[in-house]
Structure 1
């Protein structure tokens, strides 16, 4: 199989298939932390603000701690990517940005249910933020690969411009964002179904998915730069 036919040859980090795969894994991991780890979203910080407010109203200190630290960890993760990219200028910098989520998710699969969620979910959120900030474009368009509200909005706006405004240039954008929304939803559904059978160990499927993504991405970079 020629990888160049599946990915954007000039900018593999912006290819539709890579963005869809990353967004699938984003939905997969987010569903895992919500179902298995205290009903907290590792990436969806809008939801965590609401959950934090609910915990505050109910006097749930542990819930406040988990949601608050998750929000903070995600924010720090976004900052870390900018700092990392400032000092690491080679073409493989995004490869290293996927290592943290691989390592943390692999470890989390071994941890028992009793292990405090205010350690686990913030650690995953930090890594998800790094993934999100490292891969932020699909064919030149900005997107998010760990949550889907923005992608849904952009898809509907582009489809509206295409059908009602007769702006045919919006077709690719509409299709790209539509695929991202579908990928996130399918990832979340797959995670929820697998959790019925594998419970806490379901996160290891996410590790496999991300591992394959990283291997393929490295292969693309090697081909492109002929190393």
Structure 2
């Protein structure tokens, strides 16, 4: 089966790159910024509840901040889409990518420790904008900053392939699992980079986001 996309933002290449960034950022905030998840708000919500039950309100607040920042990112992303779509030279998704890059540059210069809440809030904010802006590849819904939905969708298509022997189901399943593998790759690179260089390792994410930004200028082709 040949999969088609009518815009570059729906391409697998963009999705794979953004999944690497998503995995990288989760590893970075967990390892360098107080064991907080940038993307997986379910984990933060669980840990928020755990620390509230223990009466550790200060620690609970460290998980509440990225959750609220994630929510704020969705609002801002939708505002950008509404205000800019079709009204400026840049695609509104390119504006989102530029905001991501600028926010990560700020995070690079935020000191470890006392500035962790702000750093985590910024990363969660841009991750929510990313997952809200890039929601499909080849017309199929997916996420670049978390894996649970991708794992469910990939497995669902795999089960239906075994039931129907429809090759399109197998191909869709492989695409979802591939996105998960790129996320894992990003987490591995993020872990190594963070341990070696600390926050400056985020330059890797900035480069990938800049490439994605440039790719959005390219007219999409059948993949």
2:21 corresponds to: 25
User: Do the aligned partners of 2:101 and 2:206 also contact (CA within 8 Å) in 1?
Assistant: yes
The answer to whether the aligner puts 1:68 opposite 2:64 as a matched pair is: yes
Count of residue correspondences: 216
For residue 103 of structure 1, report the CA deviation from its aligned partner: 0.8
TM-score, with structure 1 as normaliser: 0.88
Note the residue ranges of structure 2 that are not aligned, 5 or more in a row.
Answer: none
For residue 185 of structure 1, report the CA deviation from its aligned partner: 0.6
1:199 corresponds to: 198
Deviates more, 1:159-168 or 1:124-133: 159-168
Secondary structure of 1:98 counterpart: helix
For residue 217 of structure 1, report the CA deviation from its aligned partner: 2.1
Secondary structure of 1:109 counterpart: helix
2:85 corresponds to: 89
User: Do the aligned partners of 1:74 and 1:126 also contact (CA within 8 Å) in 2?
Assistant: yes
- Equivalent of 1:12 in 8, 19, 23: 8
For residue 140 of structure 1, report the CA deviation from its aligned partner: 0.2
Note the residue ranges of structure 1 that are not aligned, 5 or more in a row.
Answer: 1-6
Distance 2:210 2:59 in 1: 31
User: Do the aligned partners of 2:5 and 2:137 also contact (CA within 8 Å) in 1?
Assistant: no
TM-score, with structure 2 as normaliser: 0.89
1:157 corresponds to: 156
What is the Cα-based RMSD across aligned positions, in Å? 2.0
The answer to whether the aligner puts 1:38 opposite 2:34 as a matched pair is: yes
Which protein has greater RCO, CA pairs closer than 8 Å, 6+ apart? 2
Distance 1:8 1:212 in 2: 21
- Relative distance call for 1:116 and 1:57 in structure 2 (3 A) is farther
